[in-house]
Structure 1
Amino acid sequence: MAQPLDYRTLEAAATWYVQLNAKQPSEAQLNAWQDWLGKNQAHAQAWARVEKLQRQLGNLPADVALPTLAGVRARRRAVLKTLAMLMAVGATGWAVRESTPGQAMMAELRTGKGERRHISLSDGSLLELNTDSAVDIHFDDEYRQVRLYRGEIMVQTASDPAARPFEVQTAEGRVRALGTRFSVRSDAGQSQVSVLQHAVEIRPVENPLLMLRLEAGQSANFDKQRIGPARSAAPGTGAWTQGMLTVIEWRLADFVSELNRYRPGVLRCASEVADLRLSGAFRIDDTDTILENLSASLPVKVRYLTRYWTRIEPA
């Protein structure tokens, strides 16, 4: 029977989480963590609570899992934030959902990690939500707006008899559709727009006089003040709407980071194999098979530390 968890046990679990995410853990660290995990039932129970958060929130907040956490104070803040969430989640997990700040948690439309949704809007436009995404829809007499709080969407706009503009808003700015099909992704303080048909206009929220028009086949990143240069959209842009991830000569570390968006828990890549390259088309609804096939095409092995903690290592 599960026992109540004390503060020190939860703090230890939070500390291990931050240590294992702050940098590539050494073999000694992994062994020490597994020794701690198996020492008694309370440790395993506390780690199960970490994994529950990973399943519910896609992952713990980005500022807890930054790869460059520097200094004792930064690491301690990360531990305390993780600890607070572990204490809040309790036995049911509902406390975290209700207390976590941010509009994404209260958004009208959401997807979990590995989930996608296809929605027909009231004006006939089509909206597709990728994994771990959250949006609100706001249509009135003057505007048609989709507010993207996190994640990625694909929009196919319909013509509107009232000629209302169609916009996607992110924390970084506005994307206005010009009769088009396009994707918008918002992540870590940046938005990325890729246009598949026709054109869009981008304006940063803190620099609205700055504008960039993107044509079909183009892509650009922007933050709250700046817009990056227009470039050719990557091959396979939008393939996720068909359940596919298409890559050409990607670094393994970048591929693993992208695949982690679709897989519950934590997926990491050891630095020794980070620069290996791979190409292919992968079905994102079956990440287990993708991981199994990696070792057939690259000199790597997949190490499952727990059900929700996986690491790609040299073979």
Structure 2
Amino acid sequence: MSSPQIGPPSTAQLQAAVQWYLTLNDADVSPEQHLAWQDWLGADPEHVKAWARIEKLQQQLCGVPRDVALPILSQMGVQRRQGLKMLLVLAAGATVLAGYRISPYHTDFATRTGERRQVTLPDGSRLELNTDTRVDIAYNAQERLILLRRGEILVTTATDRLPARPLSVETPQGRIRALGTRFDVRLLPGLSSVHVQQHAVEVRPRDTPQHIQRVDEGQALTFGSSQLGNLRPATADSSAWTQGLLVAIDWRLGDFVGELARYRVGYLGCADEVRDLRISGAFRLDDIDGILANLQVSLPVKVRHFSRYWARIEA
């Protein structure tokens, strides 16, 4: 299934997008200005391209504090004009380099192991990325497409200003079309999983797109590239990660450690003799070492550390 491509926007379009970017990041931005920006965005598909380029540039600078990388966002006068020129030059450079990936892992939005982040997309939809996640965005005049390359995302859709432009998430196994909704998508080995929190989605496997499964609020589905799984109740804790929590309700210790390992750099394993112990609780994902220490108090286990990046839970 081919993905739509975003062509390079013109300098005039980039300039307009930069001006809107600066306006929306001003501390005194009004609701009326937000509406005017949405009107501008919806007036021409080329505006969407230009806005996507500025958003991508902002993400490329995400490692630098905004007040350092773009000090002009909250300033006026000469400083603002100089900043506008600088951002426009950078955006044009990003356009020239857009076709070149510096590595197989370079994507529009990404998180490192243990990192989570939130992104606002050009249409106002919100995207939350879980640990070790990679996403590309491909918006055009016909559709809004989010390509999940790795990891897990939570999507909260916004009303689009362009008519009849659906929002979908594409995974290696197929497509998930939003029907005005909030839903979680996670890549598993050879499978994709979706949990719907609000409204509904439609799932189409990649190799059998004629098979469509509607997944309603409170339901979950796991599917492969050629087949659909059975609908099941969505777990209440499927999006706890957005709050920085891992919630376990009578989990096997082996499953718990496997999930915890997603958020820790290095190796975290579990010995077979303790894998079937049961565990319940809500655990803070920003303190993995604290979780491991508490396991030794609540369960008959010890954590053996061979290095900072190698740990194993044993009897």
TM-score interval (norm. to shorter): 0.5 to 0.7
- Structure 2 residue runs without a partner (length 5+): 1-100
Tell me the distance in 1 between the aligned counterparts of 2:228 and 2:297: 40
What letter corresponds to residue 156 of structure 1 in structure 2?
T
Structure 1 contact 235–246 (Cα < 8 Å) conserved: no
- Structure 1 residue runs without a partner (length 5+): 1-96
Does the residue aligned with 2:215 lie in a helix, a strand or coil? strand
Map of 2:205 onto structure 1? 204
Map of 1:134 onto structure 2? 134
TM-score by length of 1: 0.67
Structure 2 contact 123–161 (Cα < 8 Å) conserved: no
Tell me the distance in 1 between the aligned counterparts of 2:222 and 2:183: 13
What letter corresponds to residue 242 of structure 1 in structure 2?
Q
What letter corresponds to residue 131 of structure 1 in structure 2?
T
What letter corresponds to residue 243 of structure 2 in structure 1?
Q
- In the TM superposition, what whole-angstrom CA distance separates every residue of 1:4-42 from its partner, at most 9, and x where no partner exists? xxxxxxxxxxxxxxxxxxxxxxxxxxxxxxxxxxxxxxx
Matches within 5 A, 1:229-240: 229-240=230-241
Structure 2 contact 142–165 (Cα < 8 Å) conserved: yes
Map of 1:110 onto structure 2? 110
Tell me the distance in 1 between the aligned counterparts of 2:295 and 2:239: 23
1:244 aligns with 2:245: yes
Map of 2:7 onto structure 1? none
Shift of residue 98, structure 1, vs aligned partner: 5.7
Structure 1 contact 172–189 (Cα < 8 Å) conserved: yes
Does the residue aligned with 1:146 lie in a helix, a strand or coil? strand
Does the residue aligned with 2:165 lie in a helix, a strand or coil? coil
Map of 2:267 onto structure 1? 266
Shift of residue 115, structure 1, vs aligned partner: 0.4
Tell me the distance in 2 between the aligned counterparts of 1:111 and 1:161: 29
What letter corresponds to residue 138 of structure 2 in structure 1?
H
What letter corresponds to residue 251 of structure 1 in structure 2?
R
What letter corresponds to residue 124 of structure 1 in structure 2?
G
Tell me the distance in 1 between the aligned counterparts of 2:236 and 2:140: 36
Structure 1 contact 150–187 (Cα < 8 Å) conserved: no
Structure 1 contact 235–247 (Cα < 8 Å) conserved: no
Shift of residue 218, structure 1, vs aligned partner: 0.7
Tell me the distance in 1 between the aligned counterparts of 2:279 and 2:213: 33
Does the residue aligned with 1:114 lie in a helix, a strand or coil? coil
Q: Which runs of 4+ in 1 moved over 3 A?
A: none
Shift of residue 161, structure 1, vs aligned partner: 2.4
- In the TM superposition, what whole-angstrom CA distance separates every residue of 1:150-175 from its partner, at most 9, and x where no partner exists? 10000000011223100000000000
Structure 1 contact 137–145 (Cα < 8 Å) conserved: yes
Tell me the distance in 2 between the aligned counterparts of 1:197 and 1:245: 21
What letter corresponds to residue 207 of structure 1 in structure 2?
T
Shift of residue 289, structure 1, vs aligned partner: 0.5
- In the TM superposition, what whole-angstrom CA distance separates every residue of 1:42-96 from its partner, at most 9, and x where no partner exists? xxxxxxxxxxxxxxxxxxxxxxxxxxxxxxxxxxxxxxxxxxxxxxxxxxxxxxx
TM-score by length of 2: 0.67
Matches within 5 A, 1:295-306: 295-306=296-307
Map of 2:173 onto structure 1? 172
Tell me the distance in 2 between the aligned counterparts of 1:207 and 1:155: 24
Map of 1:290 onto structure 2? 291
Tell me the distance in 2 between the aligned counterparts of 1:167 and 1:157: 10
Map of 2:195 onto structure 1? 194
Does the residue aligned with 2:185 lie in a helix, a strand or coil? strand
- In the TM superposition, what whole-angstrom CA distance separates every residue of 1:203-239 from its partner, at most 9, and x where no partner exists? 1000101111111111110110011101011231101
Does the residue aligned with 1:202 lie in a helix, a strand or coil? strand
Map of 1:124 onto structure 2? 124
Map of 1:48 onto structure 2? none
Tell me the distance in 2 between the aligned counterparts of 1:302 and 1:217: 37
Tell me the distance in 2 between the aligned counterparts of 1:215 and 1:291: 37
Tell me the distance in 2 between the aligned counterparts of 1:108 and 1:189: 23
Map of 1:256 onto structure 2? 257
Shift of residue 106, structure 1, vs aligned partner: 2.1
What is the aligned-residue identity percentage?
A: 55
Does the residue aligned with 1:164 lie in a helix, a strand or coil? coil
- In the TM superposition, what whole-angstrom CA distance separates every residue of 1:269-304 from its partner, at most 9, and x where no partner exists? 000000001111011111011101111111111110
1:216 aligns with 2:205: no
What letter corresponds to residue 131 of structure 2 in structure 1?
T
Please tell me the root mean square deviation across aligned C-alpha atoms, in Å: 1.2
Does the residue aligned with 1:122 lie in a helix, a strand or coil? coil
Tell me the distance in 2 between the aligned counterparts of 1:267 and 1:106: 26
Map of 1:158 onto structure 2? 158
Matches within 5 A, 1:39-78: none
Cα gap change, 1:98/1:124 in structure 2, threshold over 3 Å: closer, same or farther?
Answer: closer
